Amino acid sequence: MLRRYFLNLADTALRNNAGNIIKLLEESPNSKLLDCGCSDGSKTVGYAKKVRTKNVYGTDSNERQMKIARRRNIKCARHDLNKKTKYSSKFFDVIIANQLIEHLCDFDMFLSEMMRILKDDGYLIISTENLSSWQNIVSLLLGWQPTSISSATAKRKSIGNPFSMVKSKKSGNIHYRVFAIRGWEDMFDAHGFRAEKVLGSGYHPFPVFMANILARIDKRHSSLLTFKLRKK
């Protein structure tokens, strides 16, 4: 019962997070948009609709999902985002990476590549976990693993926290590193990005109607963070 309650909170936070990304997108019909980790392209189509562009690109590691995305007129390519991509420098006007960066081993390579392929007047939206969320703070006080960081084994989905939302490494959905808001901002700053705007979603363990309000007031302790970044 309690686990179901927290799963519902997590699902709502993800939906609100998707809404935050849409809020940060700007209408620009001639722009080139890249969705990093586009999966089947269902969310990518929504991003493109807000931007009002048909120049839509995507990356993913799942070929089956990319086939579906291609049927949605998304130009998909398989890229390991821990490595250099094949895109030309200063090619994209808008880049979106939703719930992706925490799954990467090499943050430095990823952010360096985003800096390289983003136009000087373009922007990058990164949405990710917040290490300083209240559910992570409470978990640490209890001597548990933070819910945002998985310590997985081959036999169990996760260890160290009975309410962990993170799946096992076997599923390809492990979170390697998660920062608090200051850590993310310092990481982005080190790679030449400035945060133009930051939005929060989810505020566990409060019920949804309260969480929506609290995440707007106190994003530093919200469950998820969404950054709109520009080159300095």
β-bridge mates for residue 94, sequence order: 33, 123
pLDDT computed for residue 161 by the predictor? 79
**Is 90 exceeded by the pLDDT of residue 6?**
no
Q: For the residues 18-31, what does the mean pLDDT come to? A: 96
Q: What is the mean pLDDT of residues 23-45?
A: 96
pLDDT surpassing 90 at residue 81:
yes
Contact call for residues 24 and 51 (beta carbons, < 8 A): no
pTM for the predicted model, two decimal places: 0.92
Q: Distance from CA of residue 84 to its chain's centroid?
A: 19
- Position 227 scores a pLDDT of 98
Q: In this model, does residue 152 exceed pLDDT 90?
A: no
**CATH architecture assignment, domain 2-231:** 3-Layer(aba) Sandwich (3.40)
Please report which confidence band the pLDDT of residue 122 belongs to, taking 50, 70 and 90 as the band edges: very high
135: left (phi over 0), alpha (psi -120 to 50) or beta: alpha
Measured at the CA of 141, the angle between CA 140 and CA 147, to 5 degrees, comes to 30
Token pair of 138 as six digits: 């409470």
Q: For residue 134, which of 114, 163, 113 has the smallest C-alpha distance?
A: 163
At residue 33, the 3 state secondary structure works out as strand
pLDDT tens for each residue of 38-69? 999 999 999 999 999 999 999 998 999 999 99
Q: Over the stretch 186-227, which tens digit does the pLDDT of each residue have?
A: 999 999 999 999 999 999 888 888 988 999 999 999 999 999
**Looking at the predicted structure, is the pLDDT value of residue 113 above 60?**
yes
Percent of the chain with pLDDT over 90: 73
pLDDT for the residue numbered 168: 44
The torsion defined by the Cα of 44, 131, 10 and 176, in degrees rounded to 10, comes to: 60
Q: How far apart are CA 135 and CA 154, in angstroms?
A: 25
Burial (CB count <10 Å: 0-12, 13-18, 19+), residue 143? exposed
